[in-house]
Structure 1
Amino acid sequence: MTKNWERLGEEIRASRIALGCTQAELAAGAGVSRASVQNLEQGRSFKRTTPSMRAVTDFLGWPPQRLAQILETAPGVQARSPADEQAAAGGDLPARVSAALVNGSLLDAQVMELGGEAQVIVVVRGKSDASQDEIRTALERWQRAEKRLRNEGEGAPQGGGPRP
């Protein structure tokens, strides 16, 4: 099956712009070259998904399955947006939690195993109109809090999101 690389490029660009990042900032945050970001946004085709793609989509805060979902979408067909996925997943959550999941810009998300059959899910959202400095500060605060949680918990986070 043909992969929809063009669609992936459009989605990455839209997510980057929504975060208020330049290509250089996205590249630095994801730990990839600016040329990698440019190639992805231009819809360049690849033989398979790459670690750079995963790093970029992690930085953008996409759920792990989003990359494959977009690539498997036939040209001309609208892939489900992250907001659609959140709404579908949040159907059994209290209203205040569901509302918080869709308000603001997604900065990061982590799933941490608590042992046994339990997990804690952390979603970090910023103000929709936050400046780059405010986003950077919020991500730094989250990184400190995440480090404390990791030290307290027994499991390592699964999935992952942006790293400034």
Structure 2
Amino acid sequence: MDQDWARLGRAFAEDRTARRLTQDDVVRALGVSRATVQNMERGTGASGKAFTRVTPTMRQYAQLLSWAEGSIQQVLDGGEPNHVQDASVKLTAAGGEPTVPAPTAGLPLRVAQELESDGPLLDTVTIPLPGGGTVVVVAKGKPQGTPAEIEASLRAWLRTQPQLQVLDEPEEEPPATAEG
């Protein structure tokens, strides 16, 4: 079966607009050009031809939209993306009510308290550290915030996120100095 790159592009664009994000928001969050975002949303590369493989930037875009692992391939194959929060609600209690596993089990107390405090979860990102290890960042909106305040929090996060991504870049070795 052929992969439908235009379908993937439409899914990116539809999900972005449903989340009230602009292409400029995506540009800032991913640290790419506007043309790159436009190409992904069209399903074509700069040459105008359909993509032939999933790129790391596409994976970052899917992560920004909270798509679950494997969603890009699902869309390319004609399906719909699964969202991370969708996957966590699939377990059901004995009465048939959806349940969400406690996400704070085993976390340090300070982290658990912050996750359980008021304020909508906006996004999460995992940033690899040079030499191994990772940093997990959870962005939350203003507790009891209006939709405009929560949107402002999201925009602030989208401006901040690219600055955190530089943690993944290897540090340059300082130049050797000659001692006299």
**Larger Rg belongs to:** 2
CA RMSD of aligned residues (A): 4.2
Residue number in structure 2 paired with 1:85? 87
- The secondary structure found in structure 1 opposite 2:68 is coil
Residue number in structure 1 paired with 2:61? 56
Structure 1 residues 86 and 47, CA gap change in structure 2 (3 angstroms):
same
* Contact 1:70–1:79 (Cα < 8 Å) also in 2: yes
Whose strand proportion is higher, 1 or 2? 1
Structure 1 residues 138 and 130, CA gap change in structure 2 (3 angstroms):
farther
Structure 1 residues 105 and 22, CA gap change in structure 2 (3 angstroms):
farther
Q: Whose relative contact order is higher, 1 or 2, with alpha carbons under 8 Å and at least 6 apart?
A: 1
Alpha-carbon distance between aligned partners in 1 of 2:153 and 2:7, rounded to the nearest angstrom: 30
Residue number in structure 1 paired with 2:154? 135
- The secondary structure found in structure 2 opposite 1:2 is coil
Query: How many residue pairs end up in the alignment?
Result: 134
* Contact 2:6–2:43 (Cα < 8 Å) also in 1: yes
Alpha-carbon distance between aligned partners in 2 of 1:56 and 1:8, rounded to the nearest angstrom: 11
How many percent identity over aligned positions? Answer: 29
- Equivalent positions of 1:6-45 (< 5 A) are 6-44=6-44, 45=50
Which residues of structure 1 form unaligned runs of 5+?
95-99, 113-120, 147-155, 157-164
Structure 1 residues 86 and 49, CA gap change in structure 2 (3 angstroms):
same
Which residues of structure 2 form unaligned runs of 5+?
45-49, 92-97, 103-115, 129-135, 169-180
Structure 1 residues 25 and 122, CA gap change in structure 2 (3 angstroms):
closer
Deviation track 1:57-86 (CA, whole Å, cap 9, x = no partner) reads 233332332222222x33xxx425315433
Alpha-carbon distance between aligned partners in 2 of 1:92 and 1:68, rounded to the nearest angstrom: 26
Indicate yes or no: 2:51 matched with 1:46.
Answer: yes
Alpha-carbon distance between aligned partners in 1 of 2:55 and 2:146, rounded to the nearest angstrom: 30
* Contact 1:26–1:37 (Cα < 8 Å) also in 2: yes
Q: TM-score, normalised by structure 1?
A: 0.56
Structure 1 residues 2 and 15, CA gap change in structure 2 (3 angstroms):
same
* Contact 2:125–2:137 (Cα < 8 Å) also in 1: yes
- For 1:40, the aligned partner's letter is M
Q: TM-score, normalised by structure 2?
A: 0.52
Deviation track 1:24-67 (CA, whole Å, cap 9, x = no partner) reads 22112111111111111123221101122122223333233222
- For 1:65, the aligned partner's letter is G
